[in-house]
Amino acid sequence: MKKFLQLNSWLAIAALAWGVGYIYNARYGGELSWLRIMYEQKMAIASEVTAPQRILIVGGSGAHYTVDAGLMQQQLGIPTLNMATDGPVGLNVILPSVSDAIKKGDIVVLIPEYLILQQKDGFGDRSGQFGVAIGKPGLGGVPAKQLAQDIMLLGIPTLKGVTKSSVDLVEKGRFTGYYSDPITANGDPTVLKQRLKSDWWELQIKEPVSPHALQRIRQFKKEVEAKGATLVLGLSWIYGSTDKQTLGNISKTAEKLGEIAPVLYDKQSLNVKTDSSLFADTHYHLNSSGRRTRTTELVEQLKALNIVRN
């Protein structure tokens, strides 16, 4: 009986420790918590904006920090919402996570980063944990083993995360994170990140889109059309290399995606930019000037498809 009580005590302590870690990681304080909050805010915005036709921007941070949905709405004259989240969530989870927001008449513009398109199984580092955090464990078909591991890790804050939060609490009086800044009524970020170092290097795309990504996007098109909406794809803008391998893989990616749905991109540059002054903190994220240029280009490309009703 004594051993039994001791075991129960240890289990209770372990459960309490895991619960505290989970609250930090997924509810408030950790990076995943800020991502969850941003996602829930975007879904709430989408539920409130009703119109015969809307534009929904879907993808990872490479879409969240590059497309100005507010500006696009002004230029097109129809409600436009930035529903993009985070690349490490993975294609398999990103797509079903926005499914409930899609309504009849919508134009869904999917702009995934190349790291998302190259995933062999559609899962990223945050796939399982993101689903649990938003109350949908296993969303996207996360394998049981991976899901179990992710759930266990949800209760274990990283030393780096705790250290950062401690510093934030002392210096700012609150926790902050990469996605903790407010978003606009269109789902756009209100704060653009800046690269701390000036040593830019040109991103190389070493692989084209994976067969799995093509299959999943093809399935997503069916899901979108079943709701009476339209799927459009887009290539990301990147600060990248113009070497033969990179351009060849991007061209092949555009060709394969074009077999599924219309693809928005500049046929000459393949959306590879060689001016780092347009970019913010990553090879995908744009500063204010870059976002305006990128968004205006997307607007013209959408107009050329003749699917936007003013």
CB-CB contact of 108 with 58 (8 Å) = yes
What pLDDT, in 10s, does the model give residues 120-157? Answer: 999 999 999 999 999 999 999 999 989 999 888 888 88
pLDDT at 14: 61
How many residues are listed for the chain in this entry?
310
- Domains of the chain in start order, with CATH, are 2-305 (3.40.50.1110)
pLDDT at 101: 98
First-last CA distance in the chain: 74
Share of the chain above pLDDT 90, in %: 75
pLDDT at 162: 75
pLDDT at 198: 61
pLDDT at 197: 59
pLDDT at 9: 57
Q: Is 39 exposed, middle or buried (0-12, 13-18, 19+ CB in 10 A)?
A: buried
Question: What is the secondary structure of 54-77 as a DSSP string?
Answer: -EEEEESHHHHTT--HHHHHHHHS
pLDDT at 131: 96
Q: What is the CA radius of gyration of the chain?
A: 21
pLDDT at 196: 62
What pLDDT, in 10s, does the model give residues 77-134? Answer: 999 999 999 999 999 999 999 999 999 999 999 999 999 999 999 999 999 999 999 9
Angle between helical axes of 69-76 and 288-305 (0-180°, round to 10): 40
- Ramachandran angles phi, psi of 200, nearest 5°: -70, 150
CB-CB contact of 284 with 238 (8 Å) = yes
**Helix residue ranges, H only, the chain:** 2-22, 31-48, 61-64, 69-76, 91-97, 114-117, 127-133, 144-154, 159-172, 211-226, 244-258, 288-305
pLDDT, average across residues 15-22: 71
| Residues 53, 186: Cα–Cα separation, whole Å | 15
> To 5 degrees, how large is the angle CA 163–CA 166–CA 169?
150
Buried b (16+ CB within 10 A) or exposed e, 61-71: bbbbbbbbbbb
pLDDT at 7: 46
Buried b (16+ CB within 10 A) or exposed e, 176-200: bbebbeebeebbbbeebeeeeeeee
Q: How confident is the model at residue 13 (pLDDT cuts 50, 70, 90)?
A: low
Q: 218, 205, 259: which is closest to 95 by C-alpha?
A: 218
Q: 51, 58, 53, 57: which is closest to 69 by C-alpha?
A: 57
pLDDT, average across residues 175-198: 89
Q: How confident is the model at residue 160 (pLDDT cuts 50, 70, 90)?
A: confident
pLDDT at 222: 98
Sign of CA dihedral 2, 156, 84, 256: negative
